[in-house]
Structure 1
Amino acid sequence: MRRMSVSTAVAAGAVLFLAGPAAAHVSIDPGEAEQGGYATVNFKVPNERDDASTIKLEVTLPTDHPLTSVMPEPVPGWDVKVEQAKLDTPIESHGEKITEAVSKVTWSGGKVEPGTFQRFPVSMGALPEDADQLVFKAVQTYDNDEVVRWIEVPEEGAEEPESPAPVLALTPAEDGGHGGAGDSDDDAGNGDDAEPAAAEGEDTDDSAADDDGSSDTMARTLGIVGIALGAAGVAFGVQSRRRGAGGSGAGSSGAGGSSAAQ
């Protein structure tokens, strides 16, 4: 039983040891993008050695589907070199004939220490519309002069090769669009619809202002009428009192005359 346990542990350790390097290959992230559009991807480089650092990465771009725009993002501590090559068959992009395209991007001068990884971002396009994937062959160099070539093309339905190349899967564009172009058109459409909405909002505000003005005028009119009625009431009351006082005085005079006659 002890011998069996030891054998099992050794076999499991061997499997993990062999699977480790395969799982830590140079990859591309995200692993898919839309056909016909532009994408920013990261070449992810893990250091699979315990006693050496990665000091250079070379990525070769596909020649069967050349990309007219390839722009690497600066990575602190690393130098980048972009190489171009003439195309066997010129291609057209936005009405212009393209005779050269980026063939290789190389990062050097930095270090990917043991137990760490580094991302190298690249913006690229326009991605082909007639392909379902792009293969980028990569070469990783260590400071102990070891070179690992990640250049084997994975085959559908087959086991992953020992040194697989980074692969970018291409999917059909949604609604027949090309990357972010459709989003821009939608935004423009929303802008057109926004003008009538704003105009309607202005009309609503004007109507509200007119209603408020009418209400203020009516309130003022009613206030003036109320004040006038109040003043008329007070005047009528004063006049009534004067009349009453005059009548009483006349009565008193009549009474005094009668007494004098007697």
Structure 2
Amino acid sequence: MGTLLSAALMAFASSGTASAQTIAPGALQADLRFALDTIERQHPDLAHSVTKAALERGADRVRAQLDHPMDQAEAWAKLAQLNPVLADGHLFIGLPDWRGQGAQAVRQGTGFFPFEVAIDARDHPVIVSMLGGGSTPLAGRRILRIGEHDARHVAGSLLARTHGDTPAFRRALLAQRWWLFHAKLYGTPADYDLVLSGSRKRLTVPAEHTLPAILQRDASFDRLFACRIDTDKSARLTVASFVWEDKARFFQFNRAAMRSRTASFSRRETRRNDRVQRDLSAHA
């Protein structure tokens, strides 16, 4: 099982005019029913994460909101409320080609939330860097308010659409995609009015037009897949994705890693090593 993509959302993604079109309530309700039937019919062990009754109750709450025509962003915001109910790291209601659409939006001049953030244990967004990874003296500051909204309320509304099997997983995943989810629920204004910890003064920060860090990472094979040989002759194999569009390159890397346990893939050097550590921590 993997991502569940609404047929209506997929049609909008391929049309290239998702923001200008709307989806009829009947189409959304039919998609929801299809998704539920598919999950219940094909999932090998649904009860591992959610009971059928709990899933149907969650679907009833979503279905009641599918009562008017919606654009792609609003439709996703409604349907994605099933994601925490599913409580699964790989099965979720997702936006089609969000990476491609996000990169295209940046190229076309769209600005996003200006910071990369982490989500702390109390659901406060905390500034990590500028969007895309640039340094900022504001790093480490908690965001208290975004516009007229309490920042924890904003984070809660985004977490309510985020997939994952644990709260910690959902916080980590939302941190990577904050710019995307925030845009879908709250839009993409030219400026963001923020209140940060340590000050009651309102700070106005312009939207950032840089490619978000996760899109930079996911566009680079060498950031996703690597093998490092340490001085103690151990190897660290990093696999940050299960897929790469250039399948030949991916399989070549995979075969080499499994075959030799000695490869330094950046320099094509080999030497004996005694241990391999596999790093899969970046997986969603």
Shorter-chain TM-score bucket reads under 0.3
Question: What TM-score do the two structures reach when normalised by structure 2?
Answer: 0.19
Whichever structure has more strand as a proportion of its residues is: 1
Look at both structures and tell me which one has the larger radius of gyration over its CA atoms.
1
Higher RCO (CA 8 Å, separation ≥ 6 residues): 1
